[in-house]
Chains A and B, each alone.
Chain A
Amino acid sequence: MIRYALAALLALIHQSAAAQTEIEQVVTPAGITFWLSQETSIPIVSVKILFRGGTALDPDDRPGAATMMTGLLNEGAGDMDALAYAAASEEVAARIGFDVGRDTLSVSATMLREVRAEVVDLVRIALHEPRFDDDAVERVRGQMMSIIRSNQSDPGELASHTLFAHAFPDHPYSRPTDGTPESIAAMSVEDLRRIHRAAIVRDRAFIAIVGDVTSDEASEMVDRVMVGLPTSDTALPQNAADQLRGGVHTIDLPGGQSRALFGHAGIERDDPDFMAAYVMNHILGGGGFTSRLTEEVREKRGLTYGISTFLTSLDHGPLYLGSVASANETIAEALELVRSEWARMAREGVSEEELEQAKRFLTGAYPLRFDTNAKIADILAGVQEAELGIDYTHERNAMIEAITVEDIARVAERLLQPEHLTFIVVGQPQGLDTVSDPAQQDALLR
């Protein structure tokens, strides 16, 4: 009985509401543009700043520079050493974080409304006047070395490092974002100051503020943080031609399970067919418990705890990637299923019913992402960095609704290249026709 009732409920579903967050574009007195979403029910404010650049700005001989510099931003600034800075943050219960990826350096700060001026000053001095004191540099150097050591036996890190090395030879993306033992050992304060100058620049910043502040109050915060930052003097990297053309590369790591990272070239974020690719990915491997790959590899055969695929919108070389882990004895079967589902999607596309289900999920779940101030700030800064426009959060669901099975068939045929699927397998897989990777094997030796 409930079966009929459920069917009826499905039929009754209305076009889901777009995300309701109201966004305002504000220009500060100093001329800096940011996005604001006011939310006055809780007396807190979240700030997100993305600086375009990230570890892709690392000099060729200093991989890890941006990561190490970012790790030092809250290790002493202005007239405060590391401990004084940390104590000052604790005194106002500031939640300040700095992080860096291949394309962006990010600043996240969540604070009580009443102490926003104090917190903003702490963010300001970290960005403008990091000290790079000798003792802090040595401390963070030791921490970086520890992370690099640990990465050397982490299946996910090994796979990712190897895949990027294969995908982007001679491009900054090929370099390990945490650096190498040699580059971190050699990193000087001068190197850190140089990457700081290159990465934290006013003209590559994308700023969002969400919470209990007025437009004037938020403008004051933005100007306080941003005014005085230099403009960029270092070119962003060239676009990379991805080099993934097939093959299975293994990295020996003892243990009972193999972890695989796989993929090939992806699709640009501003490609007209990006949304079609996004919906296709949801059906193939992006949709958690409901994707084709989860059904085939996990539900039907019990070969894995999790398999997923994702479009990585790197600014200078998008990839279409996936990951799966399975016992050494069964990883070959799991990867064969990946190949066959890849080929089936390229050949057949999706059914009307699959597309309808995917649309219901993607449009219904979109508003669920907007569930804390900090997450909304992340989304608004990300939308700016991707240059999607201020109406994007309101229009995005309509874009999903407009996708047809023909759109998906077209993009699947173009995007999915089963013969280019490149697999990096970390573990002791059985029954795989592989090329072993001597360079990476060496990295594992202590």
Chain B
Amino acid sequence: MSMAHLTIGRFAMGQGFLRRLAAMIMKEVLQLRRDRLTFAMMFGMPIMQLLLFGYAIDTDPHRLPAAVIAADQSQITRTVLSALANTGYMNFTHRPTSEEEANALLQRGEVQFVVTIPSDFTRRLVRGERAQILIDADATDPLAAANPLAAASPAINQALARDFIGPLAGLRNKADAVELVVQRRYNPEGKSRLNVVPGLLAVILTMTMVMMTALAVTRERERGTMENLLAMPVRPIEVMIGKIVPYIVIGSVQVIVILLVSRLLFDVTIEGSVTLLALGTALFITVNLAIGFTISTLTQNQLQAMQASFFMMLPSILLSGFMFPFRGMPVWAQWLGEALPATHFMRIVRGVMLKGADLGAVSGELIALVAMLLIVSTLAISRYKVTLD
């Protein structure tokens, strides 16, 4: 009797558990369905990102822009250059006439490599002396430079072996007829942390700045304080700047902390001008805050604002050249990358910190950031309403 009671009791409890659980699950699903934007983001975002990054990311970039200074024009130099081009890694886009010009190209990041063929190259080769080819590589991103450099030497020797016919046939078996002198500029030891630490600056700032402002404004709406604020004589531009300024300070402190830690723990020093770096950083922080503000005017609540910030953040990590070589991406993805402030800031930081770039070298990137700031602020102000209409 009592046993039966116990069993029934336990059974009823189990049923009750399931019933209440089902009620709870149904309620959650209903609520989730009502939040259309969240729902769309949950399904749309992963698919979009999968396609986007799946096609865009290539850790073994090909056809990297290269400059060539050929002081020696002969059949053999042509063979060497076409062998380099045929590796698929190098694409000779520039023919600078002087070393200075070539260095500037490298510093601005317009080319990844500078190939220099000395004037006595053919002569020495024919004489059976050691002939040298110089490759200067922008090694700020060791990942992008490694494979092309590894492929260069075998390709040259193989091509030349085919060319060494007739009187030159004797050179065919000299494995090191051509010596490749490689200079890894800006990051001679190929340390990836030299590349990663400055890049992290861009990523961390994007992450915190965009989200912080996006949440700061949606929080007002969610808590009902926005209506009160709008009823008072405070103008949209004042609200916007007022919301942004504290975060500019926070962002600046973040930057200082990151730079100090990089210096102390990772030995990453600033090659170029600190003022220039500060200017670029201030600009970048402001752009991010303006983006955050815009997100907040487009979303209804903090959850949506958070998701939208993530939507902004992932491409900033994956398409900006932070994680994977920018040049490895297809053209459409590079265009997308160009539209991200993080891409330009990344170039400024790496340029100034690693390459000692001056204002002239990064002015293009600074202008891009200013343009973005103008566009985004206009959007934000036009979206922010003085009324509740």
Asked if A and B are interacting partners, one says: no
Interface residues of B (CB under 8 A from A): none
